[in-house]
Amino acid sequence: MRVVTWNLWWRFGPWRERQKAILAVLRDLRPDVVGLQEVWAAADGENLAEWLADELGLHCAWAPSPAPERWRRRISAADSDGVDIGNAVLSRWPVTQRETLLLPAPADLADGRMALYARLAAPAYDVPFFTAHLTSGPGASAVRREQVTALAGFVSRHSGGTPHPPVVTGDFNARPDSDEVRLFGGHRTAPAVPGQVFHDAWDYADPFAPSATWTPENPCAARVLEPPVRIDYIHVGPPGPVGEGHVRHVRRAGDGPVEGVWPSDHAAVVADLAEGAEEGSAEGE
């Protein structure tokens, strides 16, 4: 199962040209499931996630933010009129359940960031899939700790009844060694939900592979003069009884221009997960 997570940079920059570049990257990847953040939907009914799903032959679950106003103020009036922002899941398999969670934030940072749950009816078992967008800002680690605690509880409530572990994707806006990412993983500190732990898919990557998903190599990100860092994640619970969900391979994608256009200010993360006993094993520590 090929999983992708990608922040699509909403309606910032040359968004019409970027829309085509995003599609080109996803079409080349041939994903089974995609978690998307900063997805736009226009007042006239045009929806980036639904358009991508139609072009790729995938099912779509879309969840608009309840508070798009702060986002709209950051772009031109022509681009922002009635435009929503939200998360989406694209899936090769039908979405049989879905639910959203508004992530907690103080009033000065409350811009409607959410997590979206979609239960996917894969042929052999259901896959509990999540995508989230956490608060940004280098000084907001305490806020993100509260958000990952809420997210972990949300995941726990929706992960039963299937041998496949939960898959949690998203833009966490936090470094791998941050308190909030360690808290969510539950390996290097006590987990947010007792007994619930996650593997960071990037732990299975080639140690010499480029890892930054936010980097000044990308001109869309270079404007803020921040150093390169990995802030986008695919988290997977421990493999199922016969290896379901074991991470086999992981890499970046969307990390260069497409016909001269950078698709987003973030690179995507792509992980291939084992489907069962023929591809992985649950043995070991």
Average pLDDT over residues 50-71: 96
pLDDT at 148: 98
pLDDT at 277: 59
Q: Which two tokens stand for residue 255?
A: 């990390």
Domains of the chain from N-terminus onward: 2-273 (3.60.10.10)
**Percent of the residues in the chain that have a pLDDT greater than 70, as a whole number:** 97
The predicted-structure confidence for 186-206, as pLDDT tens digits, reads as follows: 999 999 999 999 999 999 999
Closest CA to 129 of 173, 86, 171, 99: 99
The packing angle between helices 48-56 and 15-29, to 10°, is: 40
**Alpha-carbon torsion angle 87, 13, 229, 274, nearest 10:** 40
CA atoms of 219 and 75, how far apart (whole Å): 18
Contact 90, 52 (CB under 8 A): yes
Average pLDDT over residues 40-58: 97
The predicted-structure confidence for 23-32, as pLDDT tens digits, reads as follows: 999 999 999 9
Closest CA to 246 of 255, 254, 237: 237
Closest CA to 280 of 243, 232, 245, 248: 243
266, amino acid identity: H
CB neighbours (10 Å) of residue 184? 32
Sheet containing 59-64: give its strands across.
Answer: 59-64, 84-91, 33-41, 2-7, 268-273, 247-253
Sheet containing 126-133: give its strands across.
Answer: 95-102, 114-121, 126-133, 167-171, 232-236, 199-200
CB neighbours (10 Å) of residue 129? 27
